[in-house]
Amino acid sequence: MSQPAALSTDSRLLEQGDPLSDGRAFRRCLGQYPTGVSVITAQHGDKRVGMAANSFAAVSLDPALVLWSVRCESSSAATFMAASHFAISVLAADQVEVSQLFGSGHEERFNRVPWTAGAGNAPLIDGAIAHLQCRLVKVYEGGDHWILLGQVEHYARFAGEPLVFAQGQYAVTQNHPQLADNQASQNSPAGDGDGLFTSLLNSATQHMSRLFHAHRQELGVTAASARLVNILALGAASLDAIEHESLLGRGAIEDALNELSKQGLVQSNAGEYALTEAGLLLRQALIARATEFTAQQLAGIPEADLAAAKRVLRKLLSN
């Protein structure tokens, strides 16, 4: 007899359940797995298509096969399946706007970014960190998506850091904090704080951000909601504007807006979102917390040292 699904009782549990009973929660669970971001393109006849995709995955080295999946309802799906080839451009860390452009299905997307034609005329996006020119070999049914399998005919790898998509938001890769800690202590065996400057700087920012997370939680706010509150404090904004400013994916923005609306912190009017009175008060509370937190962290450091540290940081930022 087969075992029924096990319910988690882990104290760190945020949500669990049947994927079909709450699709948004299921998407959040899938978002726990970080991916890169690619733009996948194809050309068939005079129809040129391209979309942001994070479903791309390596399948086989010999033969060289990759796959990705496209939503059946996508206006581009038919062209991708009819074209002989598709091209994958793996986006660099500084290409968030390219991802947003190709994630929106914008009419003008191919006029807004430089590209060159690859195999089967599929566009390769300039500035990407990898290009894969693929011949479409097979299409599989995968529920509400089609899975496209491609044979890589040519690849190119470029210098640069990848753009990452994790937990519904854009991110960049960074050394693991453990590595930064190790480097700092290796460079300072006596623990006298003379570790490699950049390792210390890295460790300190990551440490501060972890500590502040607890303060935000006490105010009942997630990192995503706090980001939206800060953006909306500057004035009412549309979903597109929020997406542009927040570096969050649509799903995470909608989740945060839902949550903030339920709490009476945000209201929408004619397609724009704005903070309510209560939302403005929360923003003030967040600022007060951040100010108090910074003061606590810096307590006991002489003024002259602080001034010197600020000078050093400004100098680094101006380089």
Rounded to 10 degrees, the C-alpha dihedral 273/274/280/286 comes to 30
Is 41 a binding residue for ligand FMN by CB under 6 A? The answer is no
Cα distance from N-terminal residue to C-terminal residue, the chain = 66
Pick between residue 68 and residue 86 the one whose CB is nearest to ligand FMN: 68
Is 249 a binding residue for ligand FMN by CB under 6 A? The answer is yes
Residue type (1 letter), 234 = L
Answer for which of 25, 26, 64, 74 binds ligand FMN (CB under 6 A) is 74
Q: Which of residues 147-176 bind ligand FMN (CB under 6 A)?
A: 165
Task: Spell out the residues 6+ positions from residue 63 whose beta carbon is closer than 8 angstroms to its own.
Answer: 151
Where is 233: in which H helix or E strand? none
Please name every residue paired with 172 in a beta bridge, in sequence order, or none if there are none. Answer: 163
Phi and psi for 154 in degrees, rounded to 5? -155, 140
Answer for which of 31, 36, 103, 279 binds ligand FMN (CB under 6 A) is 103
CB of 52 to ligand FMN, least distance (A): 4
Pick between residue 54 and residue 246 the one whose CB is nearest to ligand FMN: 54
CB of 301 to ligand FMN, least distance (A): 41
Answer for which of 41, 44, 53, 227 binds ligand FMN (CB under 6 A) is 53
Which two structure tokens, joined as six digits, stand for 190?
């006596």
Is 198 a binding residue for ligand FMN by CB under 6 A? The answer is no
Q: Which of residues 255-274 bind ligand FMN (CB under 6 A)?
A: none
What does each C-alpha distance from 118 to 92, 95, 114, 131 come to in angstroms?
19, 20, 13, 9
Which residues sit at the interface with ligand FMN, rule CB under 6 A? 37, 51-55, 68-71, 74-76, 99, 102-103, 105, 165, 249
